[in-house]
Amino acid sequence: MKRVFDSQLIGPFAAMVIVALVVAATTDRFLNPGNLSNLSLQVSIVALIAIGSTIVIIAAGIDLSAGSMVALLTMILAQFLKMAGIPLLFAVPLILVVGGLLGLVLGMITAYGRIPSFITTLAALIAFRGLALTFNNGSPIFSLDPALEPLFYGKVAGIPMPFFYLVFFYALAAFTMNFTKLGREIYAVGGNPAAAVLTGINVRKVQTLTFVIAGFMTAVGAVLMSARLNSGSPNYGQTLELQAIAAAVVGGASLAGGRGNILATLMGAMTIVIVQNGLNLNAAPSSVQNIVLGAIILLAVGIDMWRAEISSILGRLFGRSDQSVKTASPAKPALSKDA
């Protein structure tokens, strides 16, 4: 488990706790159980999509398509349920497959067509929104299926359903990235694609797979979006892709590739949502929320970039050497055991 909970988590975790403490200090409604349960609902869609965004970023790509893809997929799901009459039990898995396939197309254009992922997914961001508008004359489709809403609002043992999705998908993603061949290859491709080729890693296939994962996770987000509002709309999911990327970045993922931690992304997403929640509870207007979100992204990346300077300043202030900060990466206890 050491590999999953490594030093990369310390910063994002600290940020999340600090933000939570600040918000809790400004309003006593924050720690109210109703609000906390509401938080897990709020964070769920962004956090699930951010799994895919993070994995793409670790492989040195970027996925800008998620927001529009959510809109497109909610419309397709609505078509399945209302027009084609496909039962929910089949429609939902089908949507997940469609999401994966859309990711496959984007991934292949990027990896085999040698078009930078920024361009591929920017084009998709624009085109998917347009595609979503071609359904139902561009109007939202409401009241899809009474059984859809419980997927989002349902509770098991008093705990909201989205909480379980988060646990399941984050555990699966963390396992994949830390304990499987694919995960290691994704880090390798992002770290040094030229070296990856020479070590026999199929770089294009790995890059493509990251987009398939991203498409699939976007589809999971889209199903929850539909369930939350029991509808499909070409206007859903605006700027979701940017929030998901923000979560990854606040969690310490490097846009240069090779560096990032799945669980840190969850904390990044939590941090962002807690701040939004805090501003909401304090009745701040949405303009302020956006400004604060921008500032958080800059601050998070800045703290990461200026780590050495900050630790030396802290060292001077508190009269201790900066060693303790630098050696925070875990030494392997296995050394003595195995020898």
Both tokens assigned to 141: 């489709």
Nearest residue to 120 via CA among 107, 102, 101, 104 = 107
> Which window, 42-50, 142-150, 198-206, 298-306, contacts another protein (CB under 8 A)?
198-206
Smaller CB separation from another protein, 176 or 276: 176
Q: Which of 63, 160, 169, 185 binds another protein (CB under 8 A)?
A: 185
Count CB-CB contacts under 10 A for residue 24. Answer: 14
Q: Which of 29, 82, 259, 307 binds another protein (CB under 8 A)?
A: 259
In angstroms, give the least distance from the CB of 148 to another protein: 34
Contact flag: residue 28 with another protein (CB under 8 A): no
Q: Which of 200, 283, 285, 309 binds another protein (CB under 8 A)?
A: 200
Both tokens assigned to 2: 């050491």
C-alpha atoms less than 13 angstroms from C-alpha of 159 in its C-beta half-sphere? 7
Nearest residue to 12 via CA among 213, 317, 310, 249 = 249
Count CB-CB contacts under 10 A for residue 9. Answer: 17
> Which window, 62-70, 209-217, 230-238, 328-336, contacts another protein (CB under 8 A)?
328-336
DSSP state of 7: G
Smaller CB separation from another protein, 317 or 335: 335
Count of residues in the chain: 339
Both tokens assigned to 291: 């400004």
Contact flag: residue 111 with another protein (CB under 8 A): no
In angstroms, give the least distance from the CB of 272 to another protein: 25
- At 271, which amino acid appears? T
Q: How far apart are CA 118 and CA 17, in angstroms?
A: 33
Q: How far apart are CA 78 and CA 72, in angstroms?
A: 10
Contact flag: residue 307 with another protein (CB under 8 A): no
Q: How far apart are CA 103 and CA 109, in angstroms?
A: 10
Contact flag: residue 27 with another protein (CB under 8 A): no
Q: Which of 25, 36, 84, 197 binds another protein (CB under 8 A)?
A: 197
Contact flag: residue 1 with another protein (CB under 8 A): no
> Which window, 88-96, 200-208, 221-229, 269-277, contacts another protein (CB under 8 A)?
200-208
Contact flag: residue 187 with another protein (CB under 8 A): yes
In angstroms, give the least distance from the CB of 144 to another protein: 36
Q: Which of 202, 280, 289, 311 binds another protein (CB under 8 A)?
A: 202
In angstroms, give the least distance from the CB of 241 to another protein: 24
Count CB-CB contacts under 10 A for residue 138. Answer: 13
Q: Is the dihedral of CA 213, 217, 218, 223 positive or negative?
A: positive
DSSP state of 72: H
Q: Which of 64, 102, 196, 275 binds another protein (CB under 8 A)?
A: 196
Contact flag: residue 136 with another protein (CB under 8 A): no
- List interacting residues with another protein (CB under 8 A): 3, 179-182, 184-185, 187-188, 190-192, 194-202, 258-259, 329, 331-332, 334-335, 338-339
